[in-house]
Amino acid sequence: MRPLDPRLVRVAAGVRHLLIASVVLAVAGAVAIIAQAILLATVLADVIIGGQGWADVSARVAWLAVVLGVRAALAWAAEELARRTAGRVMDGLRRDLLRHVAALGPRWRAGAHSGELTTLATTGIDSLHDYVARYLPQLVQAALIPLIMLGYLVTADLTSAIIVAVTLPLIPLFMALVGWYTDRQTHTKYAALSRLSGHFADVVAGLPTLKVFGRAKAQVAAVRRVTEDYRRTSMATLRVAFLSSMVLELLASLSVALVAVAIGLRLVYGELSLSVGLAVLILAPEAYLPLRQLGTQFHAAADGVAASAQVLTVLQTPLPAPGTRTDLPAGPMGFRLVDATVGEPGERGTVGPLRLDLPAGRLTVVTGTSGVGKTTLLQTLAGVVRPTSGTVTATWPDGVAVPVADIAPQTWRSRLAWAGQGAWLRAGSIRDNLLLGVPAAAAPDDDALRSVLAAVAADGIVDALPDGWRTVLGEGGAGLSSGQRQRLSLARALVRVQAGAPVLLLDEPTGTLDETTEARVLAGIAALTAGRTVVLVSHRAAPLAYADHVVDLTPARPADAGPGEQDDGAVDGVAISAGEELTGVGPW
């Protein structure tokens, strides 16, 4: 693995600051180590050989205590700086990752495994702590301190300096050999963790279905098998870490022993003074120590390196250039799609090319078979999915037309209200959920909120709760049924309409409701959105009774096509007034 990924330095400013501070602290620490060795060696030599007493060496002992205090202060400063920097870097990367994944849109997320993304954003980024807080500062020390020690040894004892210069490169060489093997083991371990997380998330998500079909217990063996794979890869990584540490320790110990033997022989023959010999003997282990510690931190940080590579890969996934236009006309708007295609030709899930006109201020119902692209059409109108080719344009009755891609995201979102198939409710009161995303200045009063709840048959839900709409819900609306959550989600979208959003996009808003409740909800939607642009996706027949226009996206075979034949050309989508005969839309 790379000791330092340049992409991380570019993305995380905290890493750059940490590296600069680590250089300063490493140089200061090396100077303090040399000063400590010289003071200690001269004091011992004068006491042992010169017979000096406490009065003669007390001043140097005091300076020695000062130097030790400086070393302790430098070590504390380095540790504290690294710890705080690691926290900021992790928080920043996690925030940037979530924002980038959100900006990439639902189509990109659909191609990525949710379990792997969850592992990356949680356990993966958490494992960066040791890499940033321990490995990177140690990397700087390993690059600087041995060179500074070697520089002093050259001036103090050339023979010892030559021994250190010859043996010192062996440690990085063995570290590189071990690192190549460890890198493969670490990626295998991280892949096993991602599989375990993804599999467990899938099992939990599908547990109700598995329970119904009597297959829940069968997943115990599958989870156990994936867990065993992760255990084996983890133990293999630890085995490599322990063995490599032993090799590095042995190599450093033998190198220091060579220096000690050379010093001992020259002291016996009087070729070296005791003070110099002691100083060199104290400093020799310090020359190897940063590299030995780097080997230890290398294994502790290996998981973080693997995770950071994946995080940086996601962050470097290009985003479409956001629009900048903010001067949009007031009032309801329509949409025009001209050869709009999402996906590449032949790619699974490709939708289009679409040619549609959705009129302003009208309720348009979009129908079609499952998988034909109804939800993708809504996501394209909302701007969260960019068409691969073609254009999606917002149109106004006075003739103004603005491509959705040219509009600033915040400006465009302020014009939209959305209720999707997944009725998501945040942890908080029902009132907080209804007003989510509504500016305080435009927030409807309590009477208006009650009228919205009544329009979607949710007033009875709220009245039955102990604290009404001030009742606090759990995450995801825990405590409510799916139909209740869907009606509250729909009410939230209608509150945005009441607050001024001219466009309402609805994806299967009555999919979980019974026929009686569905009729009441549809009537409420029609009443509250009069004069607004509503695009409602549904596979049910009931919404058609309230539609001003209907678009059927079901692919149709030309009348003259033989068995197995189908037209390959794009056919215009048909938007017809309610009450007219509904015709099919040709294939695209």
Pairing mode of beta strands 363-367, 472-473: unpaired
| N residues, the chain | 588
> Is residue 297's pLDDT more than 50?
yes
Confidence of residue 572 (pLDDT cuts 50, 70, 90): very low
Q: Is the full-model pTM beyond 0.75?
A: no
Task: Say if residues 256 and 146 touch (Cβ distance below 8 Å).
Answer: no
Q: What is the pLDDT of residue 39?
A: 92
Q: Which two tokens stand for residue 263?
A: 């010093």
Strand partners, 505: 418, 535
For residues 219-238, average pLDDT = 73
Topology of domain 6-315, per CATH? ABC transporter transmembrane region fold (1.20.1560)
Q: What is the pLDDT of residue 478?
A: 75
d(CA 372, CA 277): 83
Contacts of 561 (CB under 8 A, 6+ apart): 567
Give a three-class secondary structure readout of 448-470.
Answer: HHHHHHHHCCCHHHHHHCCCHHH
For residues 448-471, average pLDDT = 82
Amino acid occupying residue 290 = P
Choose the most confident range, by mean pLDDT, from 3-12, 144-153, 230-239, 298-307: 144-153
Strand partners, 536: 365, 506
Amino acid occupying residue 146 = P
Lowest mean pLDDT across 69-83, 190-204, 498-512, 571-585? 571-585
Q: What is the pLDDT of residue 310?
A: 82
Q: What is the pLDDT of residues 268-277, one digit of tens each?
A: 888 888 888 9
Find, among 47, 114, 33, the residue nearest to 75 by Cα: 33
Q: Which two tokens stand for residue 16?
A: 């750059």
Strand partners, 428: 473
Confidence of residue 314 (pLDDT cuts 50, 70, 90): confident
Phi-psi map region of 413: left, alpha, beta (phi>0 left; psi -120 to 50 alpha)? alpha
Q: What is the pLDDT of residue 162?
A: 93
d(CA 152, CA 284): 11
Confidence of residue 66 (pLDDT cuts 50, 70, 90): very high
Pure H helices in 333-401: 374-382
- Work out the mean pLDDT of the chain and round it to a whole number: 80
Pairing mode of beta strands 363-367, 351-358: unpaired
Q: What is the pLDDT of residue 579?
A: 31
Torsion of CA 188, 190, 192, 195, to 10 degrees: -140
Amino acid occupying residue 551 = V
Instruction: Give how far Cα 432 sits from Cα of 318, 417, 437, 495, Å.
Output: 35, 16, 10, 12
> Is residue 386's pLDDT more than 80?
yes
- 247 CB-side CA count, 13 A: 17
